[in-house]
Amino acid sequence: MSLEIHGLSMSIGSRAIIRDVDASVADGERVGLVGASGSGKSMLARTVLGLAPVDAHVRGSALLDGRQTVGASDEELADVRGRFAGMIFQNPAASLNPLTAVVDQVMLPLRIHYDLSRSERRDRAMAMLDTVGISNRLARSFPSELSGGQQQRVAIATALVTSPRLIVADEPTTALDSITQRQILDLLVSLVDDSGASLLFITHDFSVLMRTVTRCYVLDEGRIVDESAIGEMGGPASAEQTRRLVDAARRLRLPSGRGGASAPARKGGRDE
Ligand SMILES: Nc1ncnc2c1ncn2[C@@H]1O[C@H](COP(=O)(O)OP(=O)(O)O)[C@@H](O)[C@H]1O
Ligand SMILES: [Mg+2]
């Protein structure tokens, strides 16, 4: 099991933000976490990875590839993150260092987690960048010289370069236009599947979710209120929250469904 969460709660002061969550992501599975803005999606992901705010009080259990992250030391967590879990965030510009060339950013997790020579790290980073559609020329440039879509490709390369077992993606395409969004989602799904990793994919956009995962949890006010295989979600909804999300998804639906006639992800597309 890549991720196993039992009775996980998180509060800040007297405010409960995550409430008694049970959830899991099996090896090789792509699972969604959907919910309205402010429902606690990001906080749940952060708590699982040991990145809750410093004043947060966390109870329960979160096993990442069998390793407990609740109550783990910063040292243990640093080892677990990057090696076992890769993270991709909503705003790629904010997650990249503006003063560091692209290839050097992708090399950094390798320096932390693997005993490789500089040239081995560089070769591996270049190969990973090529896989996500970033050319050798772009690899030597700085984040500000890239488009939003290209920056998110770099963030994906950085998250995947250490071959983590679990990728956590927190609304990774929200900041992108719809064509780039689709290219990035398709790229992420194919890379995750090719590497045999698992995916925990956070979104408030149901159509994005349908394209990306096969099962999903619905979060409302820090609680899991529903769980379903994708496909069933469009059927009679058990919880009010699911119904609202499905309704919203119908309005937002992409022109072609997952696995439909959409173009495959282009490498380094000029349209980004
Ligand atoms: N650093 C923080 N300190 C205190 N409360 C926070 C912090 N970040 C988020 N919250 C609160 O936690 C709740 C869940 O937020 P978040 O997980 O960011 O929601 P989502 O990602 O689903 O939009 C919100 O009510 C938010 O105000
Ligand atoms: Mg969020």
Q: What is the pLDDT of residues 119-131, one digit of tens each?
A: 999 999 999 999 9
Distance 44 CA to ligand 2 centre (A): 9
3-state secondary structure of 146: coil
- 193 falls within a domain: yes
- 139 falls within a domain: yes
Q: Is 47 in the pocket of ligand 1 (CB under 6 A)?
A: no
Residue 3 has φ and ψ, to the nearest 5°, of -145, 130
| pLDDT digits 0-9 by tens, 75-91 | 899 888 878 999 998 88
Q: Is 33 in the pocket of ligand 1 (CB under 6 A)?
A: no
Distance 148 CA to ligand 2 centre (A): 19
- 214 falls within a domain: yes
Using 50, 70 and 90 to split pLDDT, how confident is the model at 242?
low
Mean pLDDT of 225-235: 70
Predicted local distance difference test score (pLDDT) of residue 206: 77
Sheet containing strand 215-220, edge to edge, reads 85-88, 166-170, 198-203, 30-34, 215-220, 223-229
- 45 falls within a domain: yes
Distance 159 CA to ligand 1 centre (A): 23
The CATH number of residue 35's host domain is 3.40.50.300
Q: Cα 143 from chain centroid?
A: 20
Q: Is 51 in the pocket of ligand 1 (CB under 6 A)?
A: no
3-state secondary structure of 120: helix
Predicted local distance difference test score (pLDDT) of residue 8: 98
Ligand with minimal distance to 41 CA: 1
More confident residue, 266 or 251: 251
Predicted local distance difference test score (pLDDT) of residue 37: 87
- 266 falls within a domain: no
Using 50, 70 and 90 to split pLDDT, how confident is the model at 244?
low
Ligand with minimal distance to 16 CA: 1
Predicted local distance difference test score (pLDDT) of residue 55: 96
Pick the range with the lowest mean pLDDT from 12-21, 93-102, 263-272: 263-272
Number of domains in the chain: 1
Distance 77 CA to ligand 1 centre (A): 21
Mean of the per-residue pLDDT values for the chain? 86
Using 50, 70 and 90 to split pLDDT, how confident is the model at 245?
low
Beta strand residue intervals within 115-207, DSSP E? 166-170, 198-203
- 260 falls within a domain: no
Does residue 171 carry a pLDDT above 90? yes
Predicted local distance difference test score (pLDDT) of residue 79: 83
What DSSP designation does 235 have?
Answer: S
Does residue 134 carry a pLDDT above 80? yes
3-state secondary structure of 219: strand
Distance 40 CA to ligand 2 centre (A): 7
More confident residue, 242 or 66: 66
Q: Cα 139 from chain centroid?
A: 22
Q: Is 48 in the pocket of ligand 1 (CB under 6 A)?
A: no
Q: Is 38 in the pocket of ligand 1 (CB under 6 A)?
A: yes
Using 50, 70 and 90 to split pLDDT, how confident is the model at 152?
very high
Residue 200 has φ and ψ, to the nearest 5°, of -110, 115
Q: Is 40 in the pocket of ligand 1 (CB under 6 A)?
A: yes
Q: Is 35 in the pocket of ligand 1 (CB under 6 A)?
A: yes
Does residue 114 carry a pLDDT above 90? no
Distance 202 CA to ligand 2 centre (A): 8
Nearest to 222 by CA among 70, 60, 27, 25: 60
Q: Is 12 in the pocket of ligand 1 (CB under 6 A)?
A: yes
- 40 falls within a domain: yes
- 26 falls within a domain: yes
Which residue range forms the structural domain that includes residue 185? Answer: 3-252
